[in-house]
Amino acid sequence: MALFKRLVGTNPKKPPTCTAVIVAAGLSQRCKGEDKLFFLISGKPVLAYTIESFQECKMVNEIIIVAREEKYEYISDMCQKYGFDKVEKIMKGGESRTGSVINGVFAASTKSRFIAIHDGARPCADAQLVNRTITAAVKYNAAAPATKITSTVKKVNASVISETVERDDLYEIQTPQVFRAEIIKAALTNVMKKSIPVTDDCKAVELLGVPIYVVEGSRRNIKITDAADLHRVESMILGGA
């Protein structure tokens, strides 16, 4: 909490600098052998659509991609082909998602006051969503997009419903998740040293007692986890829906 109080006093009038860390080191194990990040939609890889949103966002000054080593050359050629001149580094993925995020975050420019962490498998997060999340982080120190859960949620024990969960305050958190650089570096260092498992970067920051502001997400901003998601995203991109 002391860290949070100290950072609140930074000068809000100074133009923010933001590094985007795109995590693209997964194995796509649920896509039946299809590497989801390099699946072509209209001849363009999924990962290129993801990078494009950050390339187009004026608040992003630098992009770092975290990937498997065997994909370095492909990604480098792709960035050159599509003119992604904000991509400064391609970093090696870690043994876990948290390890991959750490490799990307600590490679960010020391001039970056904010770091946006995004799943490479979310190609439909447009520049407007990125912009409003960074804008909120500038004001509140930490921010993430979210959509309200509208389906009925149940707890299930041994294949039997045990409880209906009130959904009024339930949201599905998306990426990019954006934080002041000092906050996310401290948060990731903390969970790594203590071997605390986290499912997203917000959880690491929550453990420091830092409040995270939620902005409006997008139903389009789905994460590709299996072949069905992949083809759903393809339909959205091709149809503009």
> Tell me: the pLDDT tens digits for 111-140?
999 999 999 999 999 999 999 999 999 999
Token readout for 19 is 């590094």
What CATH code is carried by the domain that includes residue 60? Answer: 3.90.550.10
Q: What is the pLDDT of residues 140-193, one digit of tens each?
A: 999 999 999 999 999 999 999 999 999 989 999 999 999 999 999 999 999 999
Q: Is residue 6 part of a domain?
A: no
**How far is CA 66 from each of CA 14, 125, 155, rounded to the nearest angstrom?**
29, 18, 35
Q: What is the pLDDT of residues 75-105, one digit of tens each?
A: 999 999 999 999 999 999 999 999 999 999 9
Q: Is residue 11 part of a domain?
A: no
The residues with which 123 forms a beta bridge, in sequence order, are: none
Q: Is residue 199 part of a domain?
A: yes
CA angle, 75 then 53 then 63, to 5°: 50
21-32 average pLDDT score: 74
For residues 115 and 144, is the Cβ–Cβ distance under 8 A? Answer: no
DSSP label at residue 23: E
Residue 103: what pLDDT? 97
Q: What is the pLDDT of residues 199-236, one digit of tens each?
A: 999 999 999 999 999 999 999 999 999 888 988 999 99
Cα–Cα distance, 204 to 199 (Å, whole number): 9
* Confidence grade of residue 7 (pLDDT, cut at 50, 70, 90): very low
For residues 196 and 173, is the Cβ–Cβ distance under 8 A? Answer: no
Residue 222: what pLDDT? 95
Q: 48 is in which domain, residue-wise?
A: 16-239
Neighbours of 95 (CB within 10 A): 8
Q: Is residue 232 part of a domain?
A: yes
Q: Is residue 7 part of a domain?
A: no
Q: Is residue 3 part of a domain?
A: no
Give the residue among 204, 182, 202 at the shortest CA–CA distance from 191: 204
Q: What is the pLDDT of residues 57-80, one digit of tens each?
A: 999 999 999 999 999 999 999 999
Q: Is residue 85 part of a domain?
A: yes
Q: Is residue 194 part of a domain?
A: yes
For residues 178 and 144, is the Cβ–Cβ distance under 8 A? Answer: yes
Cα–Cα distance, 82 to 60 (Å, whole number): 17
Beta strands in 70-216 (DSSP E): 87-92, 114-119, 142-148, 153-157, 160-165, 171-173, 177-180, 213-216
Please give the tally of structural domains in the chain: 1
Cα–Cα distance, 220 to 123 (Å, whole number): 9
